[in-house]
Every structure is written in structure tokens, then in C-alpha cells.
């Protein structure tokens, strides 16, 4: 990596993206090289369980600006994105997913706009989502309508995590006490000068989506409960409405009793009990969501642990350092990517593992990590050291490095 302070840092959260990484690098590297300025690419491996680590090792050997940060476990997309933002060193920090649905070619336009108008935030806004399924478009539209209704119109419609931030914005995010912020809501809330750059959303280049329906529901729930108390107010209004309805029913029953027209029956009682019970359960569920967030905040557990960062002197060679591992990096980088003219995926014009022999990666190649770990807490970054010494941990199994426990210090 260049010794000069990078002008632009590009943060890429990654989880099990072995199939798309070579294609992503092939498009991203020429764009960044064309800037003519120092840059870095911070690839945050969110505890991938496939061949992603060995693919990154092969790519980094041919691209010195590529910096790899590996988390010890799968911490989630937002946590991985936050880890990359806080460890990036550029004056501007962009975030983009590796699936190529957000085009890397838009990054220079975002950087130029930020400089020309002295902006701190530039959002990438999807002007065309025709490549998404109808269900995806419908649910995404519903999500943005609800969020903008609860949070306000400061949240750009159809803007995900493809954005450019200034150094001042990143430092403001670092000062927030929230443990698991939803960045697409928190960033607009900061109030920094911003603008939008429209783009056409493309199809995923390879691999499969990591955002299942359950994860999308979880994101929507986190977005609402972390940024608005409206659901609690809804529970309050439901309770008041139920009380009013019960009062009306009491008056009706009293009048019917005076007229002598009361009829013994179970239907009305059955419906009333179900109605009141449903309201009670709904209110308890809404209250439980907020109590769970308070409980998580009181626990104070870090959102993520960094296993190693190649910028700190750690090297992927410590994790993928055998001939079979190198061969596997080449095999995974080229297998299934026959769409390029030369039959091999390339990064910036250089073949990625085109001449490497085929071999299967040993399991320990992915599991071995350097002993130094960095955690993010509610009060800021904290450093945790795992293991009994300062060695590289080469050749040790992860379970054997637990000697000495874990030490955390702000």
C-alpha cells in the first residue's frame, strides 16, 4: 500500500463472496487507478466460511492498495460496515457492496461532487430498480415510506449503504454512543451538507444474496425501534382505544339490562376476549423490543472483534501461507468466471491465479488468524488481545491461543 495518506478509502463489507470478488476487483481497480490519487480499499471479511479469505489473499498479492480486515465472527452487515469506516484512513470514505449491484464507476462522480460543492455526504440513490424482483421493489418501497414517515424526509428515498462520507462525518459517527446504529438512518440525522447521485441498480454479478427475508425484517425492526418511539405510542393509543371500546360496551350492556333484553351468549364475550388479548400481546411485544435494546446496551458487548488488519503489519500470508492455499486462491478466483475474454478473472488487467495449479484449501487456512483483536464498544474503539504472547500465531490452532484470556481497555 502507498505510504501517502489516501485521499479515498473504499470500504467493502464481505461475507461469503468468493464467486463475485474477482469480478468486483476487475471493475473497481481501473476506476480507482484512474483517479490519479492515493487510495485504499478496505475489504472487511465478516467471518466468511467459504473460500473468501484465500481469494482475498490472492487478490492482495497483485493489488497492494487492497487492505484486508477480518472479523473473528459473523457480526452482521452493519457492524462490518462500521468496522471498515472506523479503520479507514482516507480524507473521504466510500462504502459499497461487493455484489456489483452498485456500480463502482459512480465513485469518481461522487468524489468530484463532494469536492466541488464542499459536501460531507454524497448518497448513491437508485433511480431504476427494474432488475430487482417485484417483491423486493414493493417491500423496499414500503420500508422507505415507513422510515421517512417516522424519521422525516431527511432520509433519502431509495438510498442504501452506497455513499461517500467526509472525514468529519466519520469522526462524528465515531462519537455516537449507539452500539448497532442503522447507518442509512443515522447518517442523514447528523445533518451534514449532502447531495445525491442517481444510478441504475444492476443485477448481482455472481453468487447469491445474503439478505434473506428474515434479515430484511430484522433491519426494518432495528430501523424503527432504534430511531423512533412511535411504536410505543401506537401501543398507548391501542390501549386507549380498547378502553374506550370497553366503556361503550359497558354502557350498552347496562342499557340492555335495564330494558330486560339481555341474552345469554358466548359469541360477544369470545370476540371481546380475543380482541383485548391481541392488543395486550401486541403491546407486550413492542415493549419487549425496546427492553431488548436496553438489555443489549447494558451488557456493553462489542459489536465486533477484529482478528487482523493487514495495515497493522499482519499479513494474509500468516493465514494463507502454504502452497496449497496459494493454489486455492488462484483456483477459486478463476473457477466459474469464464465470461472474461482470456478465460480468467483479472484485477486491473493482471491475471488472478490464471497459472496457479488446482488444489483444495485446508480448513486451518481459513481458521488461523493473528492473535491481536480490536473491538468496538459503545464508548468507542477498545483493543482486546487474545493469546499468551506477541507472536504471529503461525501454525497454532485457534483453541490453543485462548491461554491468557481476553483483555479489553478503552
Q: Taking the CB of residue 360, how many other CB atoms lie within 10 A of it?
A: 12
- 188 Cβ partners below 8 Å, 6+ apart? 121, 151, 154, 155, 156, 194
Q: Which CATH fold topology does 1-223+306-410 show? A: Spore Coat Polysaccharide Biosynthesis Protein SpsA; Chain A (3.90.550)
**pLDDT confidence of residue 90:** 95
Whether the model clears a pTM of 0.85, i.e. scores above it, the answer is no
Q: In a 10 Å sphere around its CB, with 0-12 CB exposed, 13-18 middle and 19+ buried, how is residue 97 labelled?
A: buried
Q: Which residues of the chain have pLDDT under 50?
A: 1-2, 317, 321-330, 332-410
**pLDDT confidence of residue 87:** 94
- The domain spans of the chain are 1-223+306-410, 230-299
**pLDDT confidence of residue 93:** 97
Amino acid at each position: 500500500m502507498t505510504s501517502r495518506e489516501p485521499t479515498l478509502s473504499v470500504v467493502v463489507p464481505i461475507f461469503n463472496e468468493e464467486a463475485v470478488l474477482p469480478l468486483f476487483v476487475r471493475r473497481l481497480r481501473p476506476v480507482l487507478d484512474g483517479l490519479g490519487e492515493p487510495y485504499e480499499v478496505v475489504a472487511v471479511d465478516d467471518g466468511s466460511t467459504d473460500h473468501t479469505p484465500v481469494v482475498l489473499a490472492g487478490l492482495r498479492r497483485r493489488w497492494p492498495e487492497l487492505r484486508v480486515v477480518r472479523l473473528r465472527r459473523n457480526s452482521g452487515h452493519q457492524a462490518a460496515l462500521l468496522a471498515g469506516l472506523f479503520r479507514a484512513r482516507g480524507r473521504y470514505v466510500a462504502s459499497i457492496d461487493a455484489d456489483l449491484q452498485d456500480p463502482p464507476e459512480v465513485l469518481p462522480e461522487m468524489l468530484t461532487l463532494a469536492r466541488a460543492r464542499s459536501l460531507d455526504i454524497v448518497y448513491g440513490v437508485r433511480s431504476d430498480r427494474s432488475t430487482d424482483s417485484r417483491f423486493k421493489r414493493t417491500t423496499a418501497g414500503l420500508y422507505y415510506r415507513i422510515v421517512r414517515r417516522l424519521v422525516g424526509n431527511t432520509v433519502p428515498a431509495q438510498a442504501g449503504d452506497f455513499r461517500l462520507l467526509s472525514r468529519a462525518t466519520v469522526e462524528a459517527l465515531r462519537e455516537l454512543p449507539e452500539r448497532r446504529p442503522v447507518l442509512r438512518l443515522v447518517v442523514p440525522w447528523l445533518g451534514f451538507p449532502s447531495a445525491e447521485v442517481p444510478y441504475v441498480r444492476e443485477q448481482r454479478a455472481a453468487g447469491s444474496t445474503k439478505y434473506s427475508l428474515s434479515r430484511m425484517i430484522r433491519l426494518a425492526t432495528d430501523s424503527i425501534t432504534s430511531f423512533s418511539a412511535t411504536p410505543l405510542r401506537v401501543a398507548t393509543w391501542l390501549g386507549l382505544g380498547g378502553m374506550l371500546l370497553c366503556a361503550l360496551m359497558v354502557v350498552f350492556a347496562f342499557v340492555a339490562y335495564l330494558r330486560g333484553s339481555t341474552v345469554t351468549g358466548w359469541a360477544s364475550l369470545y370476540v371481546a376476549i380475543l380482541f383485548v388479548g391481541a392488543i395486550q400481546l401486541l403491546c407486550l411485544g413492542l415493549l419487549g423490543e425496546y427492553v431488548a435494546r436496553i438489555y443489549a446496551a447494558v451488557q456493553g458487548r462489542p459489536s465486533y472483534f477484529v482478528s487482523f488488519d493487514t495495515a497493522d503489519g499482519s499479513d494474509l500470508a500468516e493465514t494463507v501461507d502454504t502452497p496449497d492455499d496459494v493454489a486455492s486462491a488462484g483456483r477459486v478466483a478463476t473457477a466459474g468466471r469464464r465470461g472474461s475474454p482470456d478465460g480468467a478473472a483479472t484485477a486491473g488487467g493482471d491475471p488472478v491465479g490464471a497459472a496457479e495449479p488446482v488444489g483444495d484449501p485446508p480448513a486451518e487456512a481459513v481458521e488461523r488468524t493473528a492473535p491481536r483483536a480490536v473491538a468496538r464498544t459503545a464508548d468507542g474503539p477498545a483493543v482486546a488481545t487474545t493469546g499468551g504472547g506477541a507472536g504471529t500465531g503461525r501454525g497454532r490452532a485457534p483453541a490453543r491461543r485462548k491461554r491468557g484470556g481476553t483483555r479489553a481497555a478503552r
